Structures are given as structure tokens and as C-alpha cells.
Amino acid sequence: MLVLGIHDGHDAGACLLQDGKLLLHSSEERRRNSKNWAGVPEYSLKELFRRTGASPGDVDLIALGSQLRTTFPTRGHKPVYSVLNFLSWAGRSHWGTHLGRRVLSRLRKRKELMECLESMGMGNKPVVPFDHHLAHAATAYYFRPWQGPATVLTLDGAGDGLCATVNKAEGSNIQVLAQTPKYHSPAAWMYSSLTAHLGMRPYEHEYKLMGMAPYGDPDFIGDGHQESVADILRRSFSVEGLEFRNRTGHIASGIQAYYKKRLYARRFDNVAAGCQLVFEEMMLKWVKNAMAATGIRKIATAGGAFLNVKANKLIRELPEVEAMYTFPASDDGGTPIGAAILGYVKLCQEKGQEPQLDLPKDMYMGLGFEDADCEKAAKASGLPFRKMENVAEEAAQLLVEGKILGRFHGREEVGPRALGNRSLLADARDLRVIRKLNFAIKQRDFWMPFAASVLEEDAPRYIKNLTGWAYYMIEAFDTTPEGFNDLCAGTHPFDQTIRPQVVNELNPSYRDLLRAFKARTGVGGLLNTSFNLHGSPIVGTPEIAIDTLVKSELDALLLGSYLVTKPSSATRD
């Protein structure tokens, strides 16, 4: 059985699942080099069939990651946003949401998608749109690293008229226990709206607010005010049972006016701190209520709100939580995978077969490039390059010498986290690299922390209370004194937390590089951040990787087995 999973909203992408095995995933933003790209993932679809050798004619089912085409206003206002916001306001009750979902699903824009499918020979294939949050839930549940049931939670800005669900999952059944309409979304109308209130881009720059939060005081009142930011937000949003509640009476432009009036003359760091604190408080209450309802203390989570690593940390540390897994591609880019899984399970049930899913433990499910591709791109660039005899040893030596390297190797990661194969690497002991990365390469805001890759054998001496599956940079942990000392540039400088990628046999070539660096320094970790310029997606091709080298102050590029440098670089052969 061959299932094609597609998401044609923002963070568009596609994947192929054959007989329960994920063959390949592609994110359209990396094919087009346009961040958060929305629309039919035409380039990805073509790459999937070209690279896997699968025939479009053999596809048994096309599974869509939403019943409504998800979108968000990050590139300017469009009339459709006003319509959608009105429908969200009208659908603040469950009956209104249900009515809106039924009506809008029949009006779903599908012409471009069907034209693309028809041009590829799939115009007559069955197309099944799955609920957006069910697609998120499927990724969390079916990728969970344990056997047995799970409490499955989803939370994002919105998808198919909903922002959150609570599910009880066992076997091949995901039972929905509760749903929260989009109108009540704390992710959209609190976190993202406050991101916009602070002058940043909503639905994209929430991580900046999270990074700023530790510097502020959420309970500070100050002269001329009667209550703190946290107090205001606690009155604005709450948790009732298994659902969230928006108590402001506003969304969209109305919620912006609400915040402008109530948060006037508040320090931006205190606004960030208040938002993060109240978001965490709500998440903890919601999770505890959900576990009480299901009776299951192992939780699996997905949806964009679960990219908040600080909230994930607190959830994981709850004494009630026996185990926690967050799907690393929790943004909408992961929904093609969830949809494909749901489509496969549906086909199995129709045929009276037991689903036999064989899903990978790692996130290296994207496109890969051979050394021949890398050599061709290097030659075309005109830049100095050479083939390395021992990639790990030579790269480690450059890092010891203080160089900042881009690494483009093997298959790309699925999701927003770079896990060594599309990464910028540096010596995490050297705080000077932060300034160079922020201002000369990434062009990021000065307060933003970086992350670190840590060898599994060294993780216990660097990270406190290391539990769960810390392989994906999706959770935060406290550092030990040695950890903060050795990895200071890859931690949050204020609260000394770390968002680690624990490296083991899931990525042997990257592990070799880290071990080679440790052999020279005694430090079993490196600063790791995504390989891209600010405002661009993670590099998707050797050519874009080279272009990023040229346009930044990056010292050198590890391009497969090749080292690409600049004419003036000290690493030139």
C-alpha cells in the first residue's frame, strides 16, 4: 500500500509511506528557499517520486493534513483573513465551530492541488482530508518510543477551526475526548498576538519571546499600574477542564487593541515573561486535567505550541507524568506524515489487516545529496574546495581553531530543528562566537540563545535529570556547573538551561565529529544552530548552502566529504 501525504497550507510539504514505512519527506520551503511557504508542494511531490522511484500510478490513497486549508497572516493582510477571523468569532461555541467546519470543508480550495495531481497522473486517485489536529495526534502517538496507550495532546494556533484536543489512544484507535475552538486559542490570541504586540512577526517569532522571557519579571507592577502583566493575562485566558477559555471577548485586531490598552508602557521583557509564565501555568493545569481524564500518565504531544521547550520542561518534570514524548516536527510541516499514517491505517482497516508501522527513531527523513551533487555545486561556485581524507578529524581541528562551520551532510532533518546534518557548528566554550553568529551570520536578535549537541556518553555530566528522549532539541533541561562552563555558548545565558540534541548512533558521522572534537579538547559537545540566514529556511540544496557561505561571515562549509572555503579564508587548501 502506497500512501501520499500532503499538507498544502503554511509550512507545506509531502511524504510517501509504503506498507507502513516512511520512504521520504520533503518540506516545500526548502525546495523553494522561501520560509513558511504555503500552497501546493509541487516541487516536493516531484522530488518524492523522482528520488524513491515510486510511480504515481501506484498510489493507493492521497491523504491531506487538514480538512480546511490552513493559513496565517505573516505576509500582509488578505481579505480571507477577515472572513476567517469573523468565522472564528462566530464559532467560539462548539456548535458554531462544528457548523463552520462542515461548511468550510466543502468550500476548501482544492483546484490548484487537483490540477497538480492530475498533471502527475494522480487525478483519479482517492483524496481523503483528515482532521488537522488528528494528523498532529497521529505523529505524536505513532512515533512514541514506548508500547501501550498514551494521553495524546495537541495545541497550536489553529487548524480546522480548533486549537487544541485531548485524546486517549490505544492500539490503532485515537479517541477524541475534548476539543477547544480556535476562538479560545492561547497560542494564537495570547502568545502569537503578544509576539505581534512586541513588534515581531506572529506565527514565526514566538521563539524570540520565549528567549526573552527569562530576563523579565512577570509579576512586576511598577508606578502607575494596578496589576502585573501576569495578572492581566490570567484574567484574559484560563483552563476549564480539558479546554482553554478566551475571556477577553476579542480576537485578531480586537485582541491587539485589548493588549495595547492594558499593556501600555510595560517593559517588553516583562511582557514576554508574563506571557511565558501564564502560558506555562495553563499548560500544566491542562496536562494534569487530561491525564486525570484518561487515567494514562504517559503523554505524547504535537502541534506548534509544543515547540515551546520551556513549557515542555515543566510538563516533563510534573510528578504525575510518567513519560513524555513530543514529536520533533510539531509544526504543520509534520502533518503530511500524520496524514499518511492515518491514510495507511484507514486502508488496513478497510482490508481487514492489522497496521504494521515501521517508523524511524531519528528525524533524518528528508532529502539527501550524494558527494557527486556536492562536488558539482562546489565546482560551479568557483570557490576553493577540496575533498577531505577524514571529515570528522579535519572538521574537529577547524572548530578547535575557532572556526564556525556549516555542515551539509546526508539526509535533511524533518521539522524546524537542525540536528547536525544542516547545522552551523562552533566551539561552545567560546562566548565570542555568539556575537559572530548573531550579527555576521544569522543576523539574529542579541538576546536569543543557541542550542548544543552533546555526546550521549557525556550528557549526564552536562545535563541535570536527563530523562526521556532528548535527541531532538524539543525539550529544555537545567545544566550542571560543568555543563554551563563547557557549553556556555550553547545554553541560555540567563537561566543556564540547555536545549540539547543528545547524539548517538542515530547519526554516526556526526557522533564521530563530536568525538574527534572531544579528543582534542575534553569537551563532548558543540554549539549547534540551524544552517540558514535570518528570514530564510534551513538550507535545502548544496547550492543554497554555498550561497549562504558566500553571503555570511561563515568560515567554511563541510559539504558532504568536501571542504568549501572562501578565497581569503585561512582554511584554504
40-94: pLDDT as tens digits: 999 999 999 999 999 999 999 999 999 987 555 445 555 545 555 555 555 566 7
Q: How many CB atoms lie within 10 A of CB 31?
A: 22
Provide the residue type at 70 as one letter: T
Lowest mean pLDDT among 110-114, 139-143, 232-236, 294-298: 110-114
pLDDT higher than threshold 50 for residue 445: yes
Judge whether residue 147 has pLDDT over 50.
Answer: yes
pLDDT at 571: 46
Instruction: Identify the CA nearest to 332 among candidates 6, 2, 84.
Output: 6
Cβ(510)–Cβ(453) below 8 Å: yes
Least confident of 230-239, 438-447, 503-512: 438-447
Mean model confidence pLDDT for the chain: 93
- Nearest-angstrom CA–CA distance, 460 and 488: 16
What distance, in Å, lies between the first and last C-alpha atoms of the chain?
A: 50
The confidence band for 100, taking pLDDT boundaries of 50, 70 and 90, is low
The average pLDDT across 544-570 equals: 92
Q: How far is Cα of residue 105 from the mean position of the Cα atoms in its chain?
A: 26
Strand ranges, E, within 243-311: 243-246, 298-302
- Identify each DSSP E strand in 110-261 by its residue range: 127-129, 150-159, 162-170, 173-181, 237-240, 243-246
Predicted confidence band of residue 468 (pLDDT cuts 50, 70, 90): confident
In the prediction, which pLDDT does 510 show? 98
Q: Nearest Cα to 492, choosing from 441, 449, 431, 549?
A: 449
Confidence of residue 570 (pLDDT cuts 50, 70, 90): very low
